[in-house]
């Protein structure tokens, strides 16, 4: 969690989401129940429901929490580069490397049975929340830079970059560096 890295005390909601992520990583999403979360966190089952809602809301909270980690990697990459294409390349490479080692992502993507597949649509067919947040963050990082594009064109270019990176997170076809080189090449063509 971002709060853990900054030594900010975790809220009860953060602790519940972290416990759900840990359970999903070790035992699969099907093993996550509100009662088990309550036991792990040391609260009542009703408190878990009050903090995160039902299991679908918990799933979305887990995905959005993990997205915050990925976006932290993107921001670090952009902080290192004045050149926009280099920043995009570094961000894409860093995200893909982070994805390679991400146990929660692997637990979600590799789940192929029963209720475990409830999480996968949050990264694929039902990923609008994830895409929206990622695009807003990237737009904020790109908007002050000279691209020669109007806002609508910039939004389209960012949408394409985010979707291509997410596609490679879900199903890599080359090394992170090779994929990032391709994404940077594509971005350089659009952004000049």
Per residue in 164-187, pLDDT tens? Answer: 998 898 889 999 999 999 999 999
Enumerate residues 6+ apart whose C-beta is below 8 A from 39.
none
Q: What is the pLDDT of residues 29-66, one digit of tens each?
A: 888 899 999 999 999 999 999 999 988 889 888 888 88
* pLDDT tens, position by position, 57-114: 898 888 888 889 999 999 999 999 999 999 999 999 999 999 998 888 877 776 544 4
Residues with Cβ within 8 Å of residue 127, at least 6 apart in sequence = 121, 166
CATH number for 2-191 (one of 1.20.1090.10, 3.40.190.10, 3.90.199.10, 1.10.357.10): it is 1.10.357.10
148 secondary structure, DSSP code: S
For the chain, the structural domain boundaries read 2-191
Q: Tell me how far apart the alpha carbons of residues 64 and 132 are, in angstroms, rounded to a whole number.
A: 11
User: Can you tell me the distance from the alpha carbon of 192 to that of 190, in angstroms, rounded to the nearest whole number?
Assistant: 6
Chain-centroid distance, C-alpha 136: 13
């Amino acid at each position: 969690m971002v709060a853990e890295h900054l030594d900010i005390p975790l809220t009860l909601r953060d602790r519940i989401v972290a416990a759900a992520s840990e359970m999903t990583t070790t035992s699969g999403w099907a093993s996550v129940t509100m009662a088990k979360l309550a036991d792990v966190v040391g609260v009542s089952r009703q408190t878990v429901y009050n903090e995160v809602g039902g299991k679908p809301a918990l799933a979305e909270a887990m995905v959005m929490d993990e997205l915050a980690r990925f976006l932290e990697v993107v921001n670090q990459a952009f902080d290192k580069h004045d050149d926009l294409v280099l920043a995009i390349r570094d961000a894409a490479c860093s995200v893909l490397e982070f994805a390679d080692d991400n146990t929660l992502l692997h637990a979600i993507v590799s789940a192929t049975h029963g209720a475990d597949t409830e999480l996968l649509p949050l990264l694929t067919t039902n990923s609008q929340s994830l895409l929206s947040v990622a695009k807003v963050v990237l737009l904020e990082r790109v908007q002050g830079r000279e691209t020669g594009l109007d806002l609508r064109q910039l939004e389209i270019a960012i949408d394409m970059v985010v979707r291509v990176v997410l596609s490679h997170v879900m199903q890599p076809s080359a090394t992170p560096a090779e994929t990032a080189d391709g994404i940077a090449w594509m971005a350089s063509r659009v952004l000049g």
